[in-house]
Amino acid sequence: MTMSETKNRYVPVLNDGFVGLLDWLGSDQDIVNAARVSYAPLGSKKTYEEDRKLIRYLMRHRHTSPFEMAELKFHVRVPIYVWRQWIRHRTASVNEVSGRYTVLKESFHRLSADEWRFQSNSNRQGSDGYAPNDVGTQLSEAEDAFLQAAYKLYMERIDQGIAREQARKDLPLSIYTEAYWKIDLHNLLHFLELRLDAHAQFEIRQYAQVIANFVKELFPLTWEAFCDYRLNAITLSALEQRILGSVFVNSFSQLCKLIEDDTDLTEREKDELKAKIMKMQMHV
């Protein structure tokens, strides 16, 4: 896909939202160049595999500044109740549509009968399972009536000359807002690590998945490393290491053989994994 085909490409999300990629700066090559500037002459040429290994090393060891050399700028339309979670990531530059300057569109996030979720009993901020269809139908019908009434009241105030900053005050959180959102790749990956997680709210995960697809297209080596070392990786507490270390005490040589026989790990990664196992044994 060419640069012109990628720019200004909009992907629909939810019932009336979207994510559009407006522009971006940098590439996988810019990331490795930024990393190498401290020890290699500018313009030094390396092979694809050398670039890949370096990006994977940077990601694995949390050397983050080279990833800050890339930026992406999006245009998003998102329900305000989802935007409130999104905007907690304070590492981006944001310009949002203002209800003080413009009349807001009649655009709300509506749920169909099969989309209403029950509150989770084990997670205070999560959901679990779906309401029966008959219950969902009642909820959707009530929602539609409420949204129509709320927007009608808003427009009546506007037509009577009431200031837009006051007229908007009773609009529900399901109304869509729009914003330009620009963020460097390092902080974007942190956003995606949190918002692609299965525990994140379903609605924001839909936006995160669209953004992730853009990142995968533009920075394929970085995305591969991110998936391997962060998105699909796990961390172990000292207590967890102690438990696993007790299992590894009598099987270290066997584990080393499995590591040496693995064809996906580099020699450096093999040494790092052996060191991790030895560290776990020290906790026992």
Give the active site residue among 52, 56, 77, 195. 195
* Long-range residue pairs from 260-269, CB within 8 A, at least 24 positions apart, any chain: 266/53, 266/56, 268/57, 269/60
d(CA 60, CA 63): 8
- How many residues are recorded in the chain? 284
Tokens 């670039």 locate to 51
Tokens 């080596």 locate to 221
For residue 22, the SS3 value is: strand
Do residues 128 and 120 make contact, with C-beta atoms less than 8 angstroms apart? yes
Tokens of 40: 């290699």
**Exposure of 270 by Cβ count < 10 A (0-12 exposed, 13-18 middle, 19+ buried)?**
middle
Q: For this structure, is 52 an active site residue? A: no
- The full DSSP string for 177-223 is EEEEEEEEHHHHHHHHHHHTSTTS-HHHHHHHHHHHHHHHHH-HHHH
Of 234, 197, 201, 227, the residue nearest 82 (C-alpha): 201
Residue 175 backbone dihedrals phi, psi, to 5 degrees:
-70, 145
Residue 8 backbone dihedrals phi, psi, to 5 degrees:
55, 30
Enumerate the active-site residues: 195
